Every structure is written in C-alpha cells, then in structure tokens.
Amino acid sequence: MNRVGFFQSIRLKIIIVLILFLLLAIQVVGAYFVNKLEDNLNKNFESNFEERVQILVTNLEEVLTKDRTGDEDGPTLQDEVKDIINRYSADIFTDLQVVDTQLRVIGADGRLERIGKRVTGDSNISVALQFDQQEEELFRNQYNNDRTLRRTVPIVDSETGNPVGVLQVDASIEEIYTLLENVTQIFLNATMLAIVVSIVLGFLVARSITKPITEMRKQAMIMARGDFSKKVNVYGADEIGQLAITFNNMNDRLKLANQTTEEERRKLSSVLSNMSDGVIATDENGAITLINGPASNMIGIAPEEAKGQMIVEVLQMEDKVIDVKELEETGSLTIDFSTDEELFLVKANFSIVQDEEETFTGLITVISDVTEQEKVERERREFVSNVSHELRTPLTTMKSYIEALNEGAWEDKELAPHFLNVTQNETDRMIRLVNDLLQLSKMDHKDKTMNKEQTDLVPLVHHILDRFDMNKTELIDIERKVPDEKIEVWIDTDKITQVIDNIMSNAIKYSPEGGKITFQLIRERKRIKISIQDQGLGIAREKVDKIFERFYRVDKARSRELGGTGLGLAISKEIIEAHHGHIWANSKEGQGTTIYFTLPLMNLKRGGRR
C-alpha cells in the first residue's frame, strides 16, 4: 500500500471544510451587518439633513416674505439671509446658496464667493421656482471627488403660495461610505485571522481524528504481511476508539485463524510427505499446484519442475484424456511407465474439487505403484496356463495310447507292453509334477516349517555325491573340492539334499558324454558357498536368471524328454531362501553352467542359530 499524500489526506479535507464553513458564516454575518449599518447611517443622515433644511427654509421664508418698504435703515435682505445661514447652517453642508426669484444669489456659504451673481444653467433651480418642486441629485464633487447629495428646495410664501426663492444645499455623504469601508476592512482582517486560526485548529482536530486511523492503516499493512503480534492504541471511547477495539479483536481472531490454518497446513504437509501413495493436486486447467515426495519419486520428476506442468503430460495420458474434468468419471487409470529393462505400472485415482457453486476448481490425483500387484497377477495367470499345459500333454499322450490299446492293440504282444510302458512313464511324470506343485504350494502358503537341525555339511555332501557316483550310467566324472573340516550349518537335511540332488541331476542331464562336474564347497566369512559346475551346453546370458522361474525351460522339448517338470530349480530357490541363503547361476552358451547357492554358517561361539 502506498503512503497517503497530504493532498489526498483527510487532514486537508477537514481543514478545507472548516475554512469554507467559516467563510460562509463570516460572509452571511458580514453582509447582514454591513447592510443594516448602511441603512441606519443613511437614515440618520437623511433625518439630520432634512431637519436642517427645514429650519433654513422656514427662516428664509420669513426673511424673504418680509415687507421692507419704509425700513431702509434696517438690515438688508442679504444681511438677514447671511445671518440665518450663519446661525442655522450646519457642518454637514459643504455648500449652500439661496437664490431669489430673479435667480440672483442672495446668500451663500461655501467655497465660491457668488453673492449678487445670477445663477444660470441650473435646471434644478428653475424647476424648483417654476413648479414649486423639490429636486435631489447625487454627484461627485469636482474639488475633492466626494460623493455629494444636492437638494434644491423652493421657498414658498405660505400665505400666497408663490415661490419667493430657492435654497440649494450640498452635503457630503462620503463619510458614510468611509465608515462602511472601514467596517468591511475590519471584517476582512477578522476573516483572515479566523482562517489562520481555523487552519491551526483544523490541523489539530484532523490530527486527533486521523492519528488513530493512520495507526490502524499501518497495522493493517503489517497484518497483511502475516504479523499479528502488535496491537493499535485505543485513544478514547468515541467511534474511532470503538473502531480500534474492534480492530484489535479482529487482529486476535485473525491470529487464531492463521495459527489454525498454519497448523492444518503443517499436518497436511506432514501427512502428504509421509504417506506411501503419491498425491498430485492441480488447478482448474489441469496445471500441477502440489506434488508430494512419493509422487515425484514415482514419476521421476522434481517437485519444482513438476509445478505448473499439465498433469496429462506428466502422467503421459495425452492420448487417453482430452479434458481433465472428465477424469473423475474415468475413476482410475493404470498408466504404464515401463522401460525396456523394467516393468513399472502406476494406478491413478482421480477426484475433482468443487467450490460452493459446484464449479470445477481442481483435481486431486492419488497414484500408487501397482507393479508388484500386476506382476503377481500376471504370474498367477501364467502359472495356471502353464499347469494346464503341463498336464494336458501327458494326458493327451496317455489318451491316444489307451485308445489304441482299446481298439485292439492290447492283443499285439509287441506293441502292448511298449504302449503300457509309455502310459506308465507319463503317469509317473504327472505324479512328479503334482508332487512338485504340492511342495511349491506348501511353500507359497508360508508353510515353510523346515525341520532344521545342526548338521555338519561335509559328510552330508559326501553321502549325496557317493550316491551319484554309484548310480551314474554315463561316463561323467564328478570332482569334489570339499575341505576336510567341520562345517556346521542349521538346515533341513532332507530339503538341502533335494536341492543338491536337483542341481546335480540337471548338471548330469545337460552334460555331454565324458564331461566333468565339479562340486566345490567354499567357506566364506559368515556363510558357506556351494558351486556345481558342468561342461554342458550352457545357457544364453539373457535366460540365465529365468531358470529359477516356475515352468521355465530353456529347451522345452529336451527337458520334457529328460523327464523334467521345469519346477526343480524354482523349488530349490524357495528352499534356499527359507534357509536365508541365495541361489544364482553363471553360464555361457556352449561353455557350461555353474549353479551357486549359499547357506549361513552357524555361530558356534554364541551357540545360536543363524
């Protein structure tokens, strides 16, 4: 938020309003006062003027109508007029003249000496004489430029009613105006002073109002940055004080709400990062806004890199999905992230986020690794199909031979025993197969209860190998590299015998005539390693690891011919793993095969089992 400049501030507005009110008040009062004063002064002046003029007129009428015949010694008309003027003329008159009917000046008081002169060209005087009519005129005095009121009054003989002369007086009214101007000036000065005082007062008043508001504004800006630690001062119980109290309450509530939100956020973030499933949230356009650690690990993209990218691109489903809003209807999708080397399948569940108006605001996607699940499912399907296949072959063979016997071959002394022999072999094979399957099934159901006991491995190995030496028909040499010492292991003797039997028979089966089989027993730090090496046809590199899978056979026809079920090594693997050991093969096509397996050595010092 920006700072509020003085010209936009409430302070200036309050000062301006105060000054305007003041000016208005002074104007109204001043206008009324000056108007009244002017009226009053005018009235006073008029009545005074009128009164003086009347006195003069009355006295002059007397003098002018006086019969002067036979009174030559008495004062002259002019003397008498002069005497009246001297006596009754007032200060307010700036000029005064009395004119007789012949328009001759018979008395005057003023700047000019004009007694005896005739007045010509003054229309007012002639009008007054002729029509017995008072005239009034306002003009500017030519000598001092004063505003002057001139009154021309006919002097009438009250007996005859004829005019006997004219009295003309001038009076300056400049004084009234000067007085009014002075008063106005005083008002102006007072106004200026009032303005200055009101600016100061306005400033103080405005400050007292705006100070708490300014403080609140600053506090609001601090709150906007997420700091709720400070409070505003409360300066009184007025509206602004109430506002400050409410503001502080709001601060408290926001602080609480903020803490709660923060706590929830932390909880959510800890849940998101500690859960094993991946979570991806997007906005309404499908752009990623949040991605947790497991999700970014699964997809193989850094969280910072993923943010802002479109979910359909990140989850590689551009070809399946056009609009993200449709994803909820899709429910869940299995997405294949497999590479050439590795199978990797991810299941994504979608749910949409809506606001109160049920508008789509985003998408929450939960992804989980379903590779193992899928692998197990595939293996199960393969297993069922393999078992069916393995059983069907001997059954079909048996069926055809039995059919042939049925159709009369039983009478043929040569064919019948052969046919019966084949059927028996096939039955044997099926029994072996079913037995192998039963053993595997037991192991799968964790029914791996081995009858383990402390055994010295060296005599056991010699015993097994002796059996092979005795029974072998082909010209195969079995070399033993077995140390002459006690090697104590904790094993199920029958099961380990089965493993060695199986590996040894394979080695013999796949060895060429005159080949050599090397049986070696090597003691390592904490385990014993057994290797059985032959000089047979070997196994291609990419198939080596697969020989431990159920029903896997490199050469199906040959294995079957040799009576194999394809389960021997799978069972061996289960047994070795149940003994906490490992089994693996090393082979090169045409250069023989070595099968290794390890068993943990017993810790004789402690006497415990390993």
Q: By the criterion CB under 6 A, which residues form the site for ligand ADP?
A: 502, 506-507, 510, 534, 536-537, 539, 547, 552-555, 559, 564-570, 593
Phi and psi at 582, nearest 5°, equal: -125, 155
Angle at which helix 10-64 crosses helix 174-224, to 10 degrees, equals: 170
Coil/strand/helix, residue 161 = coil
Give the β-pairing of 488-491 and 453-456: antiparallel
d(CA 150, CA 122): 12
Q: How far is the CB of 570 from ligand ADP (least distance, A)?
A: 6
Q: How far is the CB of 585 from ligand ADP (least distance, A)?
A: 7
Tell me which residue has its CB nearest to ligand ADP: 564
Q: Judged by CB, which is closer to ligand ADP: 135, or 436?
A: 436
3-state secondary structure 439-490: HHHHHHCCCCCCCCEEEEHHHHHHHHHHHHHHHCCCCCEEEEECCCCCCEEE
Query: 503 near 595, Cβ under 8 Å?
Result: yes
Phi and psi at 68, nearest 5°, equal: -105, 5
Q: How far is the CB of 443 from ligand ADP (least distance, A)?
A: 14
Closest by CA position to 295, among listed 311, 308, 283? 311
Query: 139 near 152, Cβ under 8 Å?
Result: no
Give the helix ranges, DSSP H, for 123-238.
123-131, 174-224
Q: How far is the CB of 448 from ligand ADP (least distance, A)?
A: 19
Q: Judged by CB, which is closer to ligand ADP: 362, or 566?
A: 566
d(CA 279, CA 268): 11
Q: Judged by CB, which is closer to ligand ADP: 452, or 546?
A: 546
Q: Judged by CB, which is closer to ligand ADP: 404, or 578?
A: 578
Q: How far is the CB of 394 from ligand ADP (least distance, A)?
A: 14
Q: Judged by CB, which is closer to ligand ADP: 80, or 390?
A: 390
Q: Judged by CB, which is closer to ligand ADP: 439, or 502?
A: 502
Q: Judged by CB, which is closer to ligand ADP: 365, or 565?
A: 565
Q: How far is the CB of 266 from ligand ADP (least distance, A)?
A: 55
Torsion of CA 335, 306, 279, 330, to 10 degrees: -40
Give strand pairing partners of 479.
Answer: 518
DSSP, residue by residue, 89-121: --TTEEEEEEEETTSBEEEEESSS--TTPBP-S
Q: How far is the CB of 563 from ligand ADP (least distance, A)?
A: 7
Q: How far is the CB of 581 from ligand ADP (least distance, A)?
A: 17
3-state secondary structure 375-429: HHHHHHHHHHHHHHHHHHHHHHHHHHHHHHHHCCHHHCCCHHHHHHHHHHHHHHH
Q: Judged by CB, which is closer to ligand ADP: 88, or 510?
A: 510
Q: Judged by CB, which is closer to ligand ADP: 398, or 554?
A: 554
Q: Which tokens in the block code for residue 318?
A: 């551009």
* Half-sphere exposure for 196 (CA within 13 Å, toward CB): 5
Q: Judged by CB, which is closer to ligand ADP: 148, or 559?
A: 559
Q: How far is the CA of 478 from the CAs of 133, 465, 505, in angstroms?
A: 173, 8, 12
Dihedral of alpha carbons 534, 540, 542, 546, sign: negative
Q: Judged by CB, which is closer to ligand ADP: 398, or 569?
A: 569
Residues with Cβ within 8 Å of residue 366, at least 6 apart in sequence: 277, 278, 279, 348, 349
